[in-house]
């Protein structure tokens, strides 16, 4: 049970993020919800690599014991960078919408019909 | 003739050349706008040449494996690793080479067109840099043999695509569309990453051939398959997740839309690669007819919903965007029939023909849909409006645009001798043998497509010359050249379909269906 | 523009943040860190200056032009180092400096050891390139966003 705790946390954070995206009206908060979902996926990736009793995977500290898997840590780092680029782009879009429409509310984005 | 070093490293040059060009573009603009445009054209032309070299090598010598960071390109499995490919590899089989040709030809035509059509905008170096980065993303997605690398290029696609959609701000409308596109693309990408994490946790490998060879179909693998197919189908605009398509395609600049169509098809390629290559070996535990029927149902829904929602539209680019959704349905239908027949005896008789029809339709759709969007962009460039109710009588002054639009409209409706007829005929024939009702639905959708485009043609080009369009002339030469290139290909593929199918499409379909050869080319036939 | 104490403190702290960031970049092949992480720390230092002195003031002193130039330089150095591998007979991105005895060319000792800065081959160079690129890119993003906030809604 305790070994599954990270995965339960992943599910909880992702659920909170999706609920925020679906229910909040403010565009900035929707972007924050997307950041929460990204954080959940990052946590999922890092906790996939854990091995019981392993140490940090640094080559020049290689002892006789076991290391945790380093591949997932590289994947998580890449995803964090991608998340920064996406968040920066989406926040710029929010700023432009605010500047052109005068409000950062999702209701203002209904100009595009069917 | 061609230096040995270029041929040996051609798969890496396929992404290195546009990436280098994209990084240099914001710097080279200090020498002048014209120099920057010439540089972008040179880069897209060079990439097209490299894609041709790669395709020629693959068709002559079989699947190419290119290992990044190794001492030699073929060393996918390092000698001291115990048979595990550790580096990122590009596995270019005939299907990847086929998609690469589509992407590079489309990029070159769009770049030619955009040289003139974006001439009045500021910040053009950003436009061309983003266009080249989008090309890198597409080429990387179709060439890679590593799951996480696929995700990274998918995200490059999403970010560059979202930024390009909002290139012309237009009082905020395109920013809305770009935000929806960015949100949905990012959510799709995160779902793909979760599925890749699930697969890594199960099998400890990210290499596609490695995961495919170790695959035993557990419940987590089924969840991963469902997530991957759903997210990638969402990114390619299949119903019922197509809601971003009319907004994003309709409000982006026309040149960008013509290229976004190719990006959506790269996601469709991702669906096929996952289903055929990653999960293709477990014929006993996975029910292929079910998976095939799911894809077929998605395809039929897309065809029908796309064309029916297109008919009442009066904005020409939104109408074409709905038709793009509809045509994606044809591709899903063709390959879905192929999936449903995989492993059975009728696969080699008409299942492979259905797959070839679907795959050939990918190429034809990129060409004639790109042509149609570029002609719509030409009309908007000259008249300043995209509303069909306000246009009219343009046939008097824009004769070349009318000709190109006519070619594109006849091709999308499936009229001989254009390329749409060739691929649709293959789909009709084979799908009829599988289930006659599906073929009838496909033909009805074709007729509705023709009706829709006749209406658009009449609204745009026929009728008396309108007073407010009195000074409208033909569009500048680079735009005509870009459209002309796509039109020539549309006509050529329609007149000589046999050679194209035998030379390009059939190797691609066979490579997709043959999972064993894919794994053997990476892991060395073990 | 904040109070005098904040501005003085930011001015004193900025060099230390810069040094720490470059330390993370330079030792990326030995300790946790590397190009992106170090670049982000340096960009945080610049954001500290922006928070203390105001976006307009910093935009005048360290303009977006210099930061964009740093970004372009980092990108070109990165792709140039990767493409230089072609000239040495390897594939794209292959490590043509490792174990060669030249710049960053020492052989890595096996087993636990404090780590030799002179190892790694191409990797420290790419770390440097990515660090320069990221500090330019993130600073430009923050600077332009803050400049845009000041404009009224139309």
pLDDT digits (tens, 9 = 90+) for A43-100: 999 999 888 888 888 877 777 678 888 889 999 999 999 999 999 999 999 988 888 8
All residues at 6 or more sequence positions from C130 whose CB lies less than 8 Å from its CB, including other chains: C34, C35, C36, C39, C74, C78
Residue B179 lies in a domain: no
Contacts of C76 in chain B (CB under 8 A): 23-24, 27
**What does the pLDDT read at residue B349?**
79
If we measure between CA atoms, which residue out of A88, A48, A98, A101 comes closest to residue A72?
A48
Looking at the complex, report in whole angstroms how far the Cα of residue B144 sits from the nearest Cα belonging to chain A. 16
**Residues of chain A found within 8 Å of residue C31, distances taken between Cβ atoms:** 58
Give the number of beta-carbon pairs within 8 Å between A and B: 82
Distance CA B427, CA B357 (A): 5
The string over B80-116, giving b where at least 16 C-beta atoms fall within 10 Å of a residue's C-beta and e elsewhere, is eeeeebbbbbbbbbbbbbbbbbbbbbbbbbbbbbbbb
Q: What is residue B503's DSSP assignment?
A: I
The 3-state DSSP class for residue B66 equals: strand
- The two beta strands, B64-67 and B89-92, are antiparallel
3-state class (DSSP) for residue C106: strand
Chain A CA closest to residue C139: A88
User: Residue C112 is nearest to which of A60, A81, A102, comparing CB atoms?
Assistant: A60
Residues of chain B contacting residue A97, judged by C-beta atoms under 8 Å apart = 172, 175-176, 179
Nearest to A37 among B169, B173, B190 (CB): B190
Nearest residue, CB atoms, A102 vs list C109, C148, C153: C153
C66 touches chain B (CB under 8 A): no
Chain B interface, best mutation among C64, C68, C91, C98, by max B CB count within 10 A: C91
Task: Look at residue A111 in the predicted model and tell me its pLDDT.
Answer: 58
- Asked whether residue B391 is domain-assigned, the answer is yes
CA C21 to chain B, closest CA, distance in angstroms equals: 25
Convert the pLDDT of each residue in B372-406 to its tens digit. Answer: 999 998 888 888 887 888 887 787 788 888 889 99
| The pLDDT value given to residue B373 | 93
Considering only CB atoms, which chain B residues are within 8 Å of A114? 309
In a domain, B146, yes or no: no
Element (H, E) at B460: helix B436-461
A58 and C149 within 8 Å at the Cβ level: the answer is no
Nearest CA-CA distance, residue A37 and chain B, Å: 8
* CB atoms A111 and B187 under 8 Å: no
Answer for the pair B420, B411: CB distance below 8 angstroms, yes or no. yes
Taking CB atoms and an 8 Å cutoff, what residues of chain C touch A91? 145
Residues 66-125 of B with CB under 8 A from C: 66-73
Please report whether residue B190 resides in a domain.
no
**Tokens 């990052």 sit on residue:** A42
* pLDDT cut 90: percent of chain C above it: 44
The structural domains of chain A, ordered by start, are 5-101 (1.10.287.3510)
Q: Does residue C76 surpass a pLDDT of 90?
A: yes
Q: How far is CA C110 from CA C70, C107, C116, in A?
A: 37, 9, 11
pLDDT for C60 beyond 90: no
Average pLDDT value for chain B: 87
Q: Which segments of C27-94 does DSSP mark as H helices, in order?
A: 35-53, 55-61, 64-87
Which residues in chain A touch residue B171, judged by CB atoms under 8 angstroms apart? 100
Residues of A near B (CB-CB distance < 8 A)? 21, 27, 30, 34, 37-38, 41, 44-45, 48, 71-72, 75, 78-79, 82, 85-86, 89-90, 93-94, 96-97, 99-101, 109, 111-112, 114
How much of chain A exceeds pLDDT 70, in percent? 91
**In Å, how far is C56's CA from the nearest CA of chain B?**
22
Q: How many domains does chain B contain in total?
A: 1
The region, left, alpha or beta by phi > 0 then psi within -120 to 50, assigned to residue B237 is left
Residues in chain B with pLDDT < 50? 526
- pLDDT the model gives residue A114: 42
H or E stretch covering B90: strand B89-92
């Amino acid at each position: 049970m305790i070994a599954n705790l990270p995965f339960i946390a992943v599910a909880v954070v992702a659920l909170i993020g999706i609920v925020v995206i679906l229910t909040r009206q403010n565009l900035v908060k929707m972007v924050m919800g997307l950041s929460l979902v990204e954080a959940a996926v990052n946590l999922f990736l890092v906790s996939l690599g854990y091995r019981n009793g392993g140490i940090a995977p640094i080559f020049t500290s290689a002892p006789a014991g076991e290391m945790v898997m380093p591949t997932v840590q590289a994947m998580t780092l890449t995803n964090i960078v991608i998340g920064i680029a996406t968040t920066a782009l989406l926040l710029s879009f929010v700023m432009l919408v605010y500047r052109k429409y005068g409000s950062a509310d999702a209701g203002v984005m209904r100009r595009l019909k069917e | 003739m061609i230096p040995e070093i270029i041929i040996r490293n051609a798969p890496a040059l396929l992404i290195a050349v546009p990436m280098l060009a994209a990084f240099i573009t914001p710097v080279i603009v200090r020498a002048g706008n014209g120099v920057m445009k010439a540089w972008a054209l040179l880069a897209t032309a060079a990439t097209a040449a490299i894609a041709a070299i790669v395709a020629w090598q693959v068709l002559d010598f079989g699947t190419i494996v290119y290992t990044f960071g190794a001492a030699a390109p073929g060393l996918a499995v390092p000698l001291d690793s115990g048979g595990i490919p550790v580096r990122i590899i590009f596995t270019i089989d005939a299907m990847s080479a086929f998609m690469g040709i589509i992407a590079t030809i489309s990029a070159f035509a769009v770049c030619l067109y955009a040289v003139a059509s974006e001439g009045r905008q500021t910040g053009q170096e950003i436009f061309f840099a983003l266009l080249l980065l989008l090309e890198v993303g597409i080429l990387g997605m179709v060439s890679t043999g590593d799951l996480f690398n696929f995700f990274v290029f998918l995200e490059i696609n999403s970010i560059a695509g979202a930024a390009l959609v909002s290139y012309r701000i237009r009082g905020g409308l395109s920013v809305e569309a770009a935000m929806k596109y960015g949100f949905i693309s990012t959510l799709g990408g995160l779902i793909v990453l979760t599925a890749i994490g699930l697969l890594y946790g199960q099998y400890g490998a990210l290499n596609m051939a490695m995961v495919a060879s170790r695959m035993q179909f557990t419940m987590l693998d089924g969840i991963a398959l469902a997530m991957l197919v759903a997210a990638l189908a969402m990114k390619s605009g299949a119903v019922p997740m197509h809601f971003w398509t009319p907004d994003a395609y309709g409000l982006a600049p026309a040149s960008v839309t013509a290229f976004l169509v190719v990006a959506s098809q790269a996601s469709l390629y991702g669906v096929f690669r996952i289903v055929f290559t990653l999960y293709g070996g477990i014929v006993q535990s996975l029910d292929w007819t079910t998976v095939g029927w799911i894809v077929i149902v998605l395809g039929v829904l897309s065809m029908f919903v796309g064309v029916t929602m297109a008919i009442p539209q009066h904005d020409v680019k939104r109408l074409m965007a709905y038709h793009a959704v509809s045509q994606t349905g044809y591709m899903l239908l063709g390959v879905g029939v192929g999936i449903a027949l995989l492993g059975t005896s009728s696969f080699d008789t008409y299942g492979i023909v259905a797959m070839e029809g679907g795959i050939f339709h990918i190429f034809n759709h990129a060409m004639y849909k790109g042509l149609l969007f570029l002609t719509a962009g030409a009309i908007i460039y000259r008249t300043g409006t995209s509303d069909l109710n306000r246009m009219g009588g343009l046939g008097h002054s824009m004769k070349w645009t009318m000709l190109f639009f006519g070619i594109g409209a006849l091709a999308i409706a499936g009229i001989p001798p254009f390329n749409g007829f060739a691929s649709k005929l293959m789909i009709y024939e084979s799908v009829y043998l599988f289930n006659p009702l599906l073929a009838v639905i496909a033909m009805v959708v074709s007729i509705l497509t023709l009706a829709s485009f006749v209406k658009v043609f009449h609204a745009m080009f026929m009728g008396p010359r309108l007073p407010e369009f009195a000074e409208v002339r033909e569009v500048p030469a680079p735009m005509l050249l870009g459209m002309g290139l796509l039109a020539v290909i549309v006509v050529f593929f329609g007149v000589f379909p046999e050679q194209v199918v035998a030379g390009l499409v059939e190797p691609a379909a066979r490579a997709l269906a043959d999972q064993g050869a894919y794994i053997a080319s990476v892991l060395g036939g073990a | 523009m904040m109070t005098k104490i904040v501005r003085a403190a930011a001015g004193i702290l900025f060099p230390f943040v810069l040094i720490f960031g470059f330390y993370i970049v330079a030792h990326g092949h030995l300790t946790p860190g590397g190009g992106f992480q170090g670049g982000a720390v340096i960009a945080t230092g610049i954001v500290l200056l922006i928070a203390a002195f105001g976006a307009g003031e910093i935009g005048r002193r360290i303009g977006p032009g210099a930061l964009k130039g740093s970004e372009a330089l980092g990108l070109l150095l990165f792709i140039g180092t990767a493409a230089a591998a072609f000239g040495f007979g390897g594939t794209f991105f292959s490590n043509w400096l490792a174990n060669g005895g030249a710049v960053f060319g020492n052989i890595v000792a096996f087993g636990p050891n404090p780590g030799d800065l002179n190892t790694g081959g191409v990797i420290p160079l790419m770390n440097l390139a990515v660090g320069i690129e990221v500090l330019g890119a993130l600073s430009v993003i923050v600077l332009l966003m803050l400049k845009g906030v000041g404009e009224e809604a139309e």
